[in-house]
Structure 1
């Protein structure tokens, strides 16, 4: 069987901790291309030998880029699927094929409708099978796989519970295709696509663990920071039915393909000095010292030679001379990240400050993926930049209209109709909102109303912080305007809008969301739009003096060793930031895309900012109420 030799070669042998072969890529796009290349090579090899090729396929966000590449290979390089038979892992139950949330719909939308695979060779569990017929149906699905010759290749994603397919915690090693009750966390993760957890089915049909393990080759994909903990547990932990993916440790031909974020908790990445000799770069020294302080619950200046020697860091100590010298050095490195002047302190020595002192008044452009990420993620810093006299602009990249519930929109529409009783358009909107359910698509008029609601909330929040409305920009990037969770791909129209606002402002500073953990991926697309725009603008003279700072959203914070600028907030500023967030009233009290944290955004972010400050304090540094953190992007 053809198999791509994922590079770097021998990576699995680097660490004794890992029990599943895995390879790491800088991003999910390049990783997906490699997976697609392996599948394509297998299809061609089988065709050349006049043999059928049997693929086990997955759904969800993880394989989308793989399917995109397979479609491209079919259209542009003649990859044929005429001799391919596919078996999908799972399907919700009950679920009609026509439902846009069904995996039947997903597979045809992303793959089957764009390739030459015969319809009779496509197999997806039927979400409409009657309950009394399910047992026999599942046995028939297993038999059909065997009749096809067994699975040559099984593509997998992984859920935060460790599920593969819908084999939830407690699934048996020998389980076959069956009906299963979905774990609560699985339903929470699916909730954004269904516009609320109450709409997510409670059951599903899934291939079993034994079915998956019967495949001759298994490739599991893991993307993003939110998968890092379960990836570590699966790759380095013991085999346990409570983490079904650990059963793959016994598979003779299994590879986990990971991006940097998903692999970040693996020992070789988190603490490589425990694995073997390593090159102690400046960033790794900082990471190691922060790790050691956390492990021993000590501040930096209290670490001893013995602490370093007993925890795999003797080589670092030998390089630096003594714990005393190393501690002082690392203390100063962290100390220099703290600044109350995020735009630079005028007329000050900036050699040890995170930002330049000149020009003393900077043009600042803050990109906010949704119309509240600016105040949620960096409201204190935004307040500081305004108070310190910089020319601050905020650009909201998307309308955020899909995050306004029908009930909230109806409230505003009825208020407007009470003032303008003769408005036919308001009558139509109110009637639509009265009659539609949450899963029905909004009409353009309703989407426009919801977008306007979020605009006015943004105006209110920024006005409260003292920002003039002429410095507020609504980009309404086209990729977002689908009316559904699923967004379009970035196009030149999106990039053109982004380049236009950057070229208009000619900023000395850009702030953007570097948080890739939002539930439905908008932050990631918005960040990619910025990176592409910066790449195309890098020849502009003003870009030579433009620094880019990345903040994180309501889900994760930068690790302490990564932070390059930490902006402290007083208790009064924390309250001011909270009040600014309150202006986004449609995102309070039952926000639609909550993620797995039931708290309101202001609660989450206050805890996160307080925790960052505490972590600095635990290092033996200054004691602040809260801190916002940033990492500089070197474009």
Structure 2
């Protein structure tokens, strides 16, 4: 019976899929499978031939293999490796080279023979690449073919660098990279314009010949493409769907990457459910959007025809369910994000008392506060709350070099107009220009340049916070040490980051904390900053009485928005409030028009913010609730 139930749950899935609670556990399991293959081949006095991938996905696997080598004497002397791909052109010693990546994450730490390592050569002349690719294929065949190929997946659905349009029988070759792929790589190269337009990649046909294929994916960012690859129709538009043709493939996912698969996202379509309040809310909103009806117009027939007959039977009739969910959604809407003084707060998102709350808004970068919750920020100030904003990082990697020169030129002219000696400034300025003329992609800036970039972001943040109504003594710049490397790759979080956050919280003793819960941030800064706040509050809950009454609210908006069923507080904005929020965002001039790291969304930040909040309001309207100009959404974090 258990096997039949599993088949029913996975009937939308067209290939085997194994799901682990998190990427660490999944990475360890994949590493163990690789290790077992190596040991089995050693016992048989044979070579283990591995196809390897690069990128963030396999890093945990490689780390576990290195640990096994050091602590469990796992030897790689009988291992031959073939990497999937390499940018073209690319020098092997470049920071972005996959040669560098593999050496830093695996090869430099194990006993593999250098002559057994094969990575496509990004330095070849164009006229030699075709023959080189044929030879790459021959070398794989000469050692008996790939025993195991590990893969990641790009958001275009590429495997290796087999972009949309690739043929299922394609071999190793030179390809042109998709624009989305180049945008995703832009942070590693200091901007999309520096990302190579081409790459050498194993073909899909080459990958198919492996005796075992494991495709790994972590995080919610990969969930949409995983759903297409696992449940969608085979198409050259999503090359990973061709893996459905293989009998030797397995997808290994964490829960976030699997979250949009039917069995998790809409489980009522595949099995009987335990209908708790959260699942009922999600299902009813889904049904309303599916049949394009307001919630209060849904019928028993709608429930029965869309896999929700069990819900209607157990909790119905439909009318009662509709009323309950409509009321719950209605209660999330409030014009009083700090709580409405003197009101019955039994069914309101926030407490009525104290009427004037102490509030801390944590902003990972110096503009996330106004981009993501600028309307609520301004309203909290207008309604008399004691609001503080804390900028967790300087954001100094996200400023254009020419802005630095412009500010330096201003400083020189200003000091000169006051009759001040400008020799020192002019010398620094001259050195900056010389550095920038020969600067390589993602090269570490000298301290003077990093400082000016931080000053630019700081002055913009102050201007935005002042516009929102804050006095200077309520604006805090934390410069958390994990970020201040000057590099796109940051240091690990340390105790100092947590202690600095605890000290600020102890000083203010807030009733409300707002923190960025936008974990799709491609830089990874948001989730790091959130975890620091979470850990600080978790510790303070054990020792500080005020912390027992402190609520932590998550906001989003810079990169994506909460789903409607997740929202616990929705703050409506009038057209005038939307305009005020826009002007607060405009204070961040270095991020306007063309930010250094736009991610995969080419819209300006203020445009993203307005369109996302408008979409949230439209979603509520479609469900039959009031029609507002815009809404900022929040979810409460419970420890």
Pair in the same fold by TM > 0.5: yes
Secondary structure of the residue aligned to 2:572 is strand
Higher alpha-carbon deviation: 447-456 or 257-266: 257-266
Q: Which runs of 5+ in 1 are unaligned?
A: 1-6
Among candidates 561, 567, 570, match of residue 557 of structure 1: 561
- Tell whether the 8 Å contact from 2:174 to 2:200 is kept in structure 1 after alignment: yes
CA distance in 2, matches of 1:536, 1:117: 44
TM superposition score normalised by structure 2: 0.94
Shift of 1:237: 1.1
The answer for the alignment partner of 2:335 in structure 1 is 340
Compared CA separation, residues 394 and 291, structure 1 to 2 (3 A)? same
State yes or no: 1:451 paired with 2:417. no
Among candidates 589, 600, 603, match of residue 604 of structure 2: 600
State yes or no: 1:314 paired with 2:317. no
Partner deviation per Cα, 1:545-600 (whole Å, 9 max, x = no partner) = 22111111322111000111111111111111000000100001111111222211
Compared CA separation, residues 111 and 494, structure 1 to 2 (3 A)? farther
Secondary structure of the residue aligned to 2:565 is coil
CA distance in 1, matches of 2:5, 2:50: 27
Partner deviation per Cα, 1:13-57 (whole Å, 9 max, x = no partner) = 622110122233443333333333333333344334443322211
CA distance in 2, matches of 1:43, 1:271: 40
Shift of 1:496: 2.7
Among candidates 527, 532, 549, match of residue 529 of structure 1: 532
Partner deviation per Cα, 1:461-504 (whole Å, 9 max, x = no partner) = 00111112222222222222222222222233323333332333
State yes or no: 1:239 paired with 2:239. no
Secondary structure of the residue aligned to 1:239 is coil
Q: Aligned pairs, how many?
A: 629
CA distance in 1, matches of 2:518, 2:4: 30
Among candidates 442, 445, 448, match of residue 442 of structure 1: 445
- Tell whether the 8 Å contact from 1:11 to 1:23 is kept in structure 2 after alignment: no
The answer for the alignment partner of 1:490 in structure 2 is 493
Shift of 1:361: 2.4
The answer for the alignment partner of 1:40 in structure 2 is 35
Runs of 4+ in 1 over 6 A off after TM superposition: 7-10
CA distance in 2, matches of 1:502, 1:113: 43
State yes or no: 1:183 paired with 2:178. yes
- Tell whether the 8 Å contact from 1:343 to 1:390 is kept in structure 2 after alignment: yes
Shift of 1:319: 1.2
Q: Which runs of 5+ in 2 are unaligned?
A: none
- Tell whether the 8 Å contact from 2:8 to 2:271 is kept in structure 1 after alignment: no
Compared CA separation, residues 54 and 505, structure 1 to 2 (3 A)? farther
- Tell whether the 8 Å contact from 1:12 to 1:18 is kept in structure 2 after alignment: no
Shift of 1:12: 6.5
CA distance in 2, matches of 1:384, 1:33: 47
Higher alpha-carbon deviation: 344-353 or 41-50: 41-50
Partner deviation per Cα, 1:216-255 (whole Å, 9 max, x = no partner) = 2222122233322211111111222221101111222322
Among candidates 572, 582, 598, match of residue 578 of structure 1: 582
The answer for the alignment partner of 1:507 in structure 2 is 510
CA distance in 1, matches of 2:11, 2:370: 44
- Tell whether the 8 Å contact from 1:406 to 1:433 is kept in structure 2 after alignment: no
- Tell whether the 8 Å contact from 2:8 to 2:270 is kept in structure 1 after alignment: no
The answer for the alignment partner of 1:477 in structure 2 is 480
CA distance in 2, matches of 1:406, 1:39: 45
Secondary structure of the residue aligned to 1:478 is coil
Among candidates 18, 34, 37, match of residue 23 of structure 1: 18
CA distance in 2, matches of 1:84, 1:531: 43
Compared CA separation, residues 184 and 567, structure 1 to 2 (3 A)? same
- Tell whether the 8 Å contact from 1:12 to 1:21 is kept in structure 2 after alignment: no
CA distance in 1, matches of 2:468, 2:396: 23
